[in-house]
Amino acid sequence: MRHNLTAWVFGVALLATATAAAPLFTESFDAEIKVWGRHRQAQSELPIKGSNGAMPGWTRQGGGLPSHFVERAAGDWALMVVAKAAGQNVFALNKGFAANDRDHIYFVAFDTSPAVYEALSQATTADDRLALELVRADGTVLASHAVKPGKWEGKTVFASHAFSYTGDGSGPVSLRIAPVFTSGTRFYGAIDNLQVFASAAEAETELQRRIEVGRQAREAFLKAERERAELLARCTPVERDWLLQVGHRLTLTHVRQEVGWARELATRLFRRVPKPDLSAELAKLTELDAKSKAPEADVTGLYLAVRHVKRAVAFKNPAVDFSRILLVDNPYPEDRHESGHRHGYRAGSGKGRLLVLEGLTPESPVRSLVPEAKAGFLWRPDLSFDAKKIVFCLMPSGEKSFHLYEVNVDGAGFRQLTFGDYDDLDPIFLPTGKLMFTTTRGHTYVRCGPTHHSPVLARCDADGKNIYVVSRNGEPDYLPALLPDGRVIYTRWEYTDKEQQRAQSLWTMNPDGTGVAAFWGNQSVWPDMLVEPRPIPGSDRIMFTGVGHHMWFEGSIGIIAPGKGMNYPRGITKVTPEIPWPEVGNGPQEKAESGAYRPSSYRAYKTPYPISEEDFLVSILHPKTKMFGLYLMDLSGNRELIYTGTHNAWHAVPLRTRPRPPAVLDQVAWPPLGPDQPPLKEGVMYSASVFEGAPLLPKDKVKYLRVLHIDAKTYTPWKKTFGPSGPSISISQADGVKRILGTTPVESDGSFCFRAPPGKALHFQLLDQDFRCIQTMRSFTGVMPGETRGCVGCHEGRRSTPVNAKGGMAMRRGPLPLTPPPWGVEVSIGYERFVQPVLDTYCGECHQGDGKARAKLDLTWRKATTVAARSGQSVQHFNEPYITLMGGGATWFRKVDEKLTNKHGLPVPLSGCLLVEGF
């Protein structure tokens, strides 16, 4: 018995009213589970949730990738089974049920569908199979059945199946669901509505019921779609968007809600200066409110009329003191990964437009500022303080890199500012007249992305000359923005002794690269990434977009209040709570910015631009077109469509003058450009007390500060050679190469002061008298040439001010040069160089050669022949005994509460204890 059924929206409601046969066992896969992330399915856009655990009542066997569930209809979830190796992700029912009388024939009914997550390369193929097994209490298989869910064709379509088995009287049976693994990493299908019946008649009744439910749901769905299409054809673009906001179930309740929300908006605007005249709008709202109480009220007509009035109120907001908007209309690039989407070679062949919108409606005319001969891909523009010039990045069609360009607002003066093979991205005007931007001119690569360059912050003159890289980051920096005090805020990705994802937070620096400081989120999992930061006028708060490491074009809007905390959950509120943080889902203590927020059916938000403390421009993803349009929005969730482009309307900026922040004076001893450069001037780093903010540090034991340099990756094999790394550096995580530059004494009062090499990513450790590590800094810092900077302590809040440089013993003594290690500062830290010789000297007698303990633990340096734990990858790039001592790579993608041991029963060592993948 096989019947094709589609998961229609109305199916759940109809299902509840139909008469169904009583099954002996039912699993709907709808139970609540502990979720680590929420996403959207590729192509179908259906919601997906992921879990590292199993469903209630089931055990997930064999390890492998997490469990995934797709929401086929509201509240109706189906299990998606994924595997990358044989035996993985087998779901076993914990408790048996009575369906095994001798010689009795039972029937199992279930629905399957092809499945996919985000990468289409992992979609179900035509030959993939799911296996269902009836299992006896002793673990032996009573009966099994394999089914092909079918090839993924862009949507989740469930088909109903049934098979029979004969009982043998051996007692209760349980179920197992498993992928029939062949090769590769992919989803072998989705399964739902698993039931066991005592007879063929009951099973057939259930299947026929499902068919009827599907038929009725399909007819109701198509009728509603026809009626809605006829209505939308009569509407303007703005009216169509209003109907989208309310969804399919428009009622008089919605009309009255909108009347109330329009009045609330008017009340809020009355507090503004100048106070707008809204008397006509309020009178019209009173009239429409009265009409909504009539018995035969025209629901749709009234709703649209109320929205017209509400829109008029919204655009009388004194904060909307502009009539033109600068924006980009850009297609999606080929890559949606955070560090890949902005590369020239991943942009694709589409053409974007740099536009001036001459009005605030979708019908308003637009002017394109890029000559057709230079049309291509572009990213965020910036408007000069006097609103006369625009600077932006562009990759014309046929070229391979982004460069900086400028143009006047009237379209004149178009010219290219930077040249070369590197990508120059996302420039902003500085108060001094210079430009700051990100660039790949540092020639570094992402540690866990061998094919991704790392764009980092740089500065140049207004004409594009005298380019200096001002960032020490080996991973990417993103989207600098100017703060009212003249500093620059930006997104920094860095994972020093941390997990490679969930480490993209907000940082600040002075325009010359000095004074780098964490702003918010350097030790936070939620959101995954904070990008597109913009200051909110009239406050010290920052609006940002929370996106995903692999999901740049998904987004939820949030606000950071730096005075309330620097890491989740302190200091952060969510503006769009209906959208979970992409890739990681919502955290355990989310706080909405507004208690009166109105959610919507939109799928994502991007590139916010605050125009007041409560209002902002924002790009919103349309659920049907899958493109972003431009909206005026407020913190309560009132949304008004302004523009929809050919592609995506992003990075909107009001075309008006803006205050010029104070210029932060340069503190850097800039070296001359050219091949014959003198040595860079050293900087000074100091602290009055390393104990500040770290009360548990043993003050009597801290004697030295070790200073390490974290190398940027300047070579790539252009492929991943182990885990996500390339070249392979560590079996534990995507680590960076480190060098010990030296040590400096920590005085009895906790102070230190040393001469620091400029332009390097510096990483600190506190040591005891025997140079053993007591505390490790899980981030990096550094100095620009000639910079003097201090810190408060190892765990200080960055809102604290460093104690005066004269306040500690070390500062009164003056800066000391670092004492280098005996092997020199150019030698990188590595197992073969530092650890294996110790084992050879002190352990070799027993664990090498003819030693008696070699059979138990072989510490001979030799070629590896095993595969890594968990990933199943070859470890050809590493040698033994390094692999054994490091737990065989078992720390990759480990769970927080998982206790790991190697094959000898010994705990996985310190590198695994860092929980670099446990979040």
Using the predicted structure, report yes or no on whether residue 804 has a pLDDT greater than 90.
no
- Considering only 316-320, 523-527, 648-652, 655-659, which range has the smallest mean pLDDT? 523-527
CA 261 – CA 664 distance, rounded (Å): 44
Characterize the bridge pairing of strands 47-51 and 37-40: antiparallel
| 192, 266: one domain | no
**In Å, what is the CA distance from 591 to each residue of 132, 184, 554, 577, 633?**
43, 41, 20, 8, 19
Using the predicted structure, report yes or no on whether residue 422 has a pLDDT greater than 90.
yes
Query: Given 225, 252, 274, which residue is the final one in a domain?
Result: 225
pLDDT at position 559, please? 99
Q: Is the residue at 50 inside a domain? A: yes
**How big, in percent rounded to 5, are the helix, strand and coil portions of the chain?**
15, 30, 55
CA 446 – CA 463 distance, rounded (Å): 29
How many other C-beta atoms lie within 10 A of the C-beta of residue 267?
11
Q: Which residue has the tokens 């589970």?
A: 33
Using the predicted structure, report yes or no on whether residue 6 has a pLDDT greater than 50.
no
Query: Given 187, 202, 225, which residue is the final one in a domain?
Result: 225
| 256, 180: one domain | no
88: domain CATH number is 2.60.120.260
- DSSP 3-state assignment of 526? coil
**In Å, what is the CA distance from 213 to each residue of 12, 219, 682?**
9, 10, 75
**In Å, what is the CA distance from 216 to each residue of 76, 123, 208, 211, 226?**
18, 29, 12, 9, 15
Query: Given 225, 247, 279, which residue is the final one in a domain?
Result: 225
Mean pLDDT of 493-508: 82
| 496, 506: one domain | yes
439: domain CATH number is 2.120.10.30
Q: Is the residue at 665 inside a domain? A: no
Mean pLDDT of 402-412: 98
Mean pLDDT for the chain overall: 87
CA 633 – CA 245 distance, rounded (Å): 13
End-to-end CA distance of the chain: 45
Mean pLDDT of 389-393: 98
Q: Tokens in use for 215?
A: 């038929």
| 698, 643: one domain | no
| 637, 712: one domain | no
Using the predicted structure, report yes or no on whether residue 201 has a pLDDT greater than 70.
yes
Between 343 and 484, the higher pLDDT residue: 484
pLDDT at position 871, please? 53
pLDDT at position 500, please? 67
pLDDT digit string, tens, across residues 823-843: 999 899 888 998 999 999 999
| 823, 836: one domain | no
CA 786 – CA 681 distance, rounded (Å): 5
Q: Is the residue at 406 inside a domain? A: yes
Mean pLDDT of 416-431: 97
Using the predicted structure, report yes or no on whether residue 770 has a pLDDT greater than 60.
yes
Q: Is the residue at 668 inside a domain? A: no
| 134, 18: one domain | yes
| 807, 850: one domain | no
DSSP string, 794-860: TT--TTSPPPPTTSSHHHHH--B--B--TT-TTPBP-HHHHTHHHHHHHTHHHHSTT-TTTTT----
Q: Is the residue at 675 inside a domain? A: no
| 414, 464: one domain | yes
- Considering only 245-259, 369-383, 511-525, which range has the smallest mean pLDDT? 245-259
Q: Tokens in use for 747?
A: 């005085």
Using the predicted structure, report yes or no on whether residue 898 has a pLDDT greater than 80.
no
Going by pLDDT thresholds of 50, 70 and 90, the confidence category of residue 15 is very low
Mean pLDDT of 631-657: 98
pLDDT at position 806, please? 56
Express as a percent the part of the chain with pLDDT over 70.
90
| 684, 699: one domain | yes
Q: What is the pTM of this model?
A: 0.80
Asked if 673 contacts 345 with a C-beta cutoff of 8 angstroms, the reply is no
- Considering only 50-59, 76-85, 159-168, 907-916, which range has the smallest mean pLDDT? 907-916
| 497, 359: one domain | yes
Q: Is the residue at 230 inside a domain? A: no
Between 60 and 355, the higher pLDDT residue: 355
Half-sphere exposure (Cβ direction) of 896: Cα atoms closer than 13 Å: 4
| 568, 425: one domain | yes
Q: Is the residue at 900 inside a domain? A: yes
Going by pLDDT thresholds of 50, 70 and 90, the confidence category of residue 799 is low
Question: Could you give the number of structural domains in the chain?
Answer: 5
Mean pLDDT of 3-10: 33
pLDDT at position 520, please? 95
pLDDT at position 916, please? 38
Q: Which domain holds residue 464?
A: 324-654
pLDDT digit string, tens, across residues 289-314: 999 988 888 899 999 999 999 999 99
pLDDT at position 729, please? 82
pLDDT digit string, tens, across residues 683-706: 999 998 888 877 778 888 999 999
